[in-house]
Amino acid sequence: MPQYTAPLRDINFVLKDVLKSDKHFASLATREEVSEDLMDAIISEGAKFSENVLSPLNQPGDQEGCTWSEDGVKTPKGFKEAYQQYAEGGWPSMTANPEFGGQGLPNSLGLVVTEMVSSACWSWGMYTGLSQSAARLLEVYASDELQQTYLGKMTEGTWGGTMCLTESHCGSDLGLLRTKAEANADGSYNVTGTKIFISGGEHDMMENIIHLVLARVEGAPEGTKGISLFVVPKFLPDENGEVGERNGVHCGSIEHKMGIKASATCVMNFDSAKGFLVGEENRGLNAMFHMMNSARLGTALQGLSAGEASFQGALAYAKDRLQMRSLSGPKNPSGPADPLIVHADVRRMLLTQKAFAEGSRAFIYWVAQLVDTFYFAGDEQARKDAEELSELLTPIAKAFVTETGLESANYGMQVFGGHGFISEWGMEQIVRDLRISTLYEGTTGIQALDLLGRKVMGSGGKQLMVFTKIIHRFCKEQQDKPGMAPFVTKLVALNKEWGEITGKLGEKAMANADEVGAASVDYLMYAGYVSLAYMWARMASVALDGDADDVFLKAKVQTANFYYQRILPRTEAHKIAMLNGADSLMDMPEDAFAF
């Protein structure tokens, strides 16, 4: 199993040098101040916890998995103890509202800790990540009374949270959901129905679990317009706010699945369970989108963190394992063969992993800053702009970073040859664990429809222009800077082409709505490659300003070159495919697919 080491130099480079976190934190009027010392301490403690406490749990957790019994779900050995340590360390409260005991630190800083936790042990991190997303939703949408009842315990980490959307007949299409809620005279509701695939629906790490459940109030309109959101606790709080009576919600079973085996994926039965409305009736999806957006960025992080872990394993192996000689003559003449890392094709795989991990880190951290700005900046216009841009970029981050993370995890296995297929090395676990990331929180196909259909076409291209203008401005500023020409020239061309492609697709879609669905995933991947090209150009520009002999900074520019020369040309294939249109997909009659 690869031992995880937090990539602190890169994390600090992205945060401090590229994204100027000091200026960013200072612009957040309603968040606590973050001094550089505090930031360094948080990152270094988060790294130690991830490396020393969580990383050792990853492989045994996969082997043991979760177990279900009538009494509940048991997580693997060590999970609960690690959680106690995490809660005692104050980590659950890091980004929470100080009004409920939180430390009020910016979410973009919390995300750095989440990245390290996720690389070390994704399954463990799911329990904490979902709990924190649930608490953030309640901070924004719940009544004062609900906030007073639940947020203190959730902030200190004694109570966790889940998101309960999916039912057996509805996943992508939540308009079909059937779980129902009947109003009681005291203002509460009785929630009845079955939710499936609920992550952390039942477990032994926290004393209470607060489910956020989508359900339909009797008489509500059909489809997505009739969905409401409820808080349904496992134990109803007593008059002192402590764990009280058991509510009518139980875990019927857990799924046997390909990966993330230490994360309990539960069938949850709600049997007239007492629930409390969050926000207004029939406006539940709006509130849930809040949690989903944060969970989407969290899932994007899975692509990055698994890609990083796989890269670390592959790099160490490629330096150690001796096989054959370099085509250009021996590089390890005193040994029986050369290490794998001398071979061009192995380097192609390693550099692809490096380019995706570091590019995605910069991209996700930037989106997280935009989300901070949207919620907490003092300047109204800055908040509005950040909202628009983060909405556009979230589906790109979620789908592109998980798809390319998966490609990277597969390369990590490939670098190990046949040994990558053997469990002991841990490389196949990374692939298995990561595979879910392109499916849950909205599949790649659903993210792509959201991007092209809702965000880009839905705004008449305006939302896209917010981003292309930023790229345009950056290119103008950088065009004369020594060393930047190869990046700027290509980025300018792609930025222009992106707008042209969008216009052409818009015209096609006017004649045939299926053109949107036919183009959407290619469009999203194109958008992802351009987004990472922008981040790589930003990183290269900062690196070029630094010490020319610094190996880390030189490698940044070299990796940017690799990305532009060897990965970015993929945009051409996506462009051709999406502009070739829907006919080759839609012409075939359903009964002609197979004989």
Ligand X SMILES: Cc1cc2nc3c(=O)[nH]c(=O)nc-3n(C[C@H](O)[C@H](O)[C@H](O)COP(=O)(O)OP(=O)(O)OC[C@H]3O[C@@H](n4cnc5c(N)ncnc54)[C@H](O)[C@@H]3O)c2cc1C
Beta bridge partners of 189: 183, 275
Q: Is 131 in the site for ligand X (CB under 6 A)?
A: no
> Which lies closer to ligand X via its Cβ, residue 142 or residue 165?
165
Q: What CA–CA distance (Å, rounded) separates 149 from 433?
A: 35
Q: What CA–CA distance (Å, rounded) separates 340 from 336?
A: 13
Binding part of the chain for ligand X, among 103-111, 319-327, 438-446, 502-510 by CB under 6 A, reads 438-446
Among 197, 230, 498, 523, binds ligand X (CB under 6 A): 197
> Which lies closer to ligand X via its Cβ, residue 230 or residue 563?
230
> Which lies closer to ligand X via its Cβ, residue 199 or residue 429?
199
- Cα distances (angstroms) measured from residue 21 to each of 108, 138, 587: 9, 27, 51
Binding part of the chain for ligand X, among 8-16, 357-365, 443-451, 481-489 by CB under 6 A, reads 443-451
> Which lies closer to ligand X via its Cβ, residue 12 or residue 253?
253
Binding part of the chain for ligand X, among 205-213, 231-239, 435-443, 466-474 by CB under 6 A, reads 435-443
Q: What CA–CA distance (Å, rounded) separates 463 from 498?
A: 13
Amino acid, res. 441: E
Q: Is 436 in the site for ligand X (CB under 6 A)?
A: yes
- Cα distances (angstroms) measured from residue 346 to each of 7, 413, 484, 500, 591: 21, 11, 28, 37, 44
Q: What is the DSSP string of 307-341?
A: HHHHHHHHHHHHHH-B-S--TTS-SSTTSSS-BGG
Q: Is 298 in the site for ligand X (CB under 6 A)?
A: no
Binding part of the chain for ligand X, among 84-92, 177-185, 194-202, 532-540 by CB under 6 A, reads 194-202
The distance of closest approach from Cβ of residue 578 to ligand X in the complex, given in angstroms and rounded to an integer, is 15
What is the chain's Cα-based Rg? 24
Q: Any idea what DSSP says for residue 377?
A: B
Residues 458-497 that bind ligand X (CB under 6 A): none
Residues 102-121 that bind ligand X (CB under 6 A): none
Among 43, 94, 198, 471, binds ligand X (CB under 6 A): 198
Q: What CA–CA distance (Å, rounded) separates 325 from 208?
A: 59
Q: What CA–CA distance (Å, rounded) separates 375 from 133?
A: 14
Nearest residue to ligand X by CB is 171
The distance of closest approach from Cβ of residue 355 to ligand X in the complex, given in angstroms and rounded to an integer, is 27
Among 461, 517, 546, 581, binds ligand X (CB under 6 A): 517
Q: What CA–CA distance (Å, rounded) separates 63 from 535?
A: 38
Query: 78 is written with which tokens?
Result: 């060590």
Phi, psi for 179 (deg, rounded to 5): -55, 130
> Which lies closer to ligand X via its Cβ, residue 315 or residue 505?
505
The distance of closest approach from Cβ of residue 303 to ligand X in the complex, given in angstroms and rounded to an integer, is 15
Residue 118 and residue 302 in contact, taking contact as beta carbons nearer than 8 Å: yes
Matching residue, tokens 């609920």: 198
Q: What CA–CA distance (Å, rounded) separates 113 from 92?
A: 11
Q: Which of 115, 202, 441, 515 is catalytic?
A: 441
Give the other-Cβ count within 10 Å of 432's Cβ.
Answer: 16
DSSP H or E stretch at residue 74: strand 72-74
The distance of closest approach from Cβ of residue 117 to ligand X in the complex, given in angstroms and rounded to an integer, is 18
Q: What CA–CA distance (Å, rounded) separates 509 from 104?
A: 45
Binding part of the chain for ligand X, among 65-73, 105-113, 191-199, 384-392 by CB under 6 A, reads 191-199
The distance of closest approach from Cβ of residue 261 to ligand X in the complex, given in angstroms and rounded to an integer, is 10
Residues 363-392 that bind ligand X (CB under 6 A): none
Residue 54 and residue 404 in contact, taking contact as beta carbons nearer than 8 Å: no
Instruction: Kindly state the number of chain residues that form the binding site for ligand X, as judged by CB under 6 A.
Output: 22
Among 443, 459, 558, 561, binds ligand X (CB under 6 A): 443
The distance of closest approach from Cβ of residue 417 to ligand X in the complex, given in angstroms and rounded to an integer, is 29
Q: Is 270 in the site for ligand X (CB under 6 A)?
A: no
DSSP H or E stretch at residue 365: helix 344-376
Among 392, 446, 509, 518, binds ligand X (CB under 6 A): 446
Q: How far is CA 351 from the centre of its chain?
A: 22
What contacts 246, CB < 8 A, 6 or more positions away?
234, 235, 236
The distance of closest approach from Cβ of residue 436 to ligand X in the complex, given in angstroms and rounded to an integer, is 5
81 is catalytic: no
Q: Is 265 in the site for ligand X (CB under 6 A)?
A: yes
> Which lies closer to ligand X via its Cβ, residue 239 or residue 590?
590
The distance of closest approach from Cβ of residue 176 to ligand X in the complex, given in angstroms and rounded to an integer, is 10
Matching residue, tokens 């359903």: 590
Q: Is 133 in the site for ligand X (CB under 6 A)?
A: no
Q: What CA–CA distance (Å, rounded) separates 343 from 340?
A: 6
Q: Is 172 in the site for ligand X (CB under 6 A)?
A: yes
The distance of closest approach from Cβ of residue 432 to ligand X in the complex, given in angstroms and rounded to an integer, is 11
Among 104, 152, 157, 171, binds ligand X (CB under 6 A): 171
Name the residues annotated as catalytic. Answer: 441
Could you list the residues that contact ligand X (CB under 6 A)?
162-166, 171-172, 197-199, 257, 265, 436, 439-443, 445-446, 449, 517
